[in-house]
Amino acid sequence: MQTNDRNSIKFMLDVRGLSKRFLMHIRGGVEMRSFDDVNIHVSAGKLLAITGPSGIGKSSLLKCIYRTYVPNSGEVWYTDMKGEAVNLAAADEQEILRLRRDEIGYVSQFLYVPPRVPAVEILMEPLMLRGASATEARVSARKMLEYVGLNETLHQMYPSTFSGGEKQRLNILQAIICKPRLLLLDEPTASLDKGYKKKVMSLIASLKQEGTGMVGVFHDRDALQYLADERYDMTERAYCAVS
């Protein structure tokens, strides 16, 4: 499905006919299909949950939207803060990097950060790239770290020394501290205990109230029911009731 019609875009995110396949060179060039003909849309202040069994392509779908992966076919229309529609599936790398810096956040299942950089500085960097002073950025970063239970003793530590749950909390903060317009979430609460999960869900809900549009992969039923406005089932390739 290729429309190339920017004037017909009505949503913050409008994914049309998206498909992704992988060529497995170590298996003699066998082509592995991840997903086909996905059509989803997200409005400002709404969260669309992507559900389905493991291996059906949920995480790959998020990576195609974020452009970690290049889809084989289809369009990913994103309406930026200027009201201009950008096809993320075809945009050049500089445009993608600009949007990631300024407008689109992504929470992966794993924490990817530079080695030997303290946790507080990891959160300061995106704020300073947007014009905050070092003092302002440090205050904001410390406040968010404290909110999710990463106390002052951890602020100057390297995340490589953190537990899995601590890494995931930092991972989430890194994506949301600049309040992105579009947020992609891949199992954001999977490794969190009950208390911290509530705090993270509260942060995500607050962003929704401020107008952030979101696409999230969830196996956590509590998070799904609390946060999702709509649900898209990858097995049926259709919208379903949130349940």
Tens digit of each residue's pLDDT, the chain (243 residues) = 344 566 567 899 999 999 999 977 666 667 788 899 999 999 999 999 999 999 999 999 999 999 999 999 999 999 999 999 999 999 999 999 999 999 999 999 888 888 899 999 999 999 999 999 999 999 999 999 999 999 999 999 999 999 989 999 999 999 999 999 999 999 999 889 989 999 999 999 999 999 999 999 988 899 999 999 999 999 999 999 897
Q: Residue 178 and residue 175: Cα distance in Å, rounded? A: 7
| 93 contacts 131 by C-beta, under 8 angstroms | no
26-29: Cβ within 8 A, 24+ apart = none
Mind listing the pLDDT tens digit for each residue in 86-96? 999 999 999 99
Question: What is the CATH code for 11-103+180-243?
Answer: 3.40.50.300
| 186 contacts 21 by C-beta, under 8 angstroms | no
Model confidence, pTM:
0.92
| 16 contacts 3 by C-beta, under 8 angstroms | yes
Which positions ≥6 away from 16 have C-beta within 8 Å? 1, 2, 3, 39, 74, 75, 76, 77
Q: Tell me which DSSP letter residue 90 carries.
A: T
Q: Residue 27 and residue 96: Cα distance in Å, rounded? A: 31
What residue segments make up the domains of the chain, in order of their start? Answer: 11-103+180-243, 108-179
Coil vs helix vs strand at 216: strand
- What torsion do the CA atoms of 94, 185, 40, 89 make, to the nearest 10 degrees? 20
Closest CA to 119 of 156, 83, 152, 144: 156
State the pLDDT at residue 2. 43
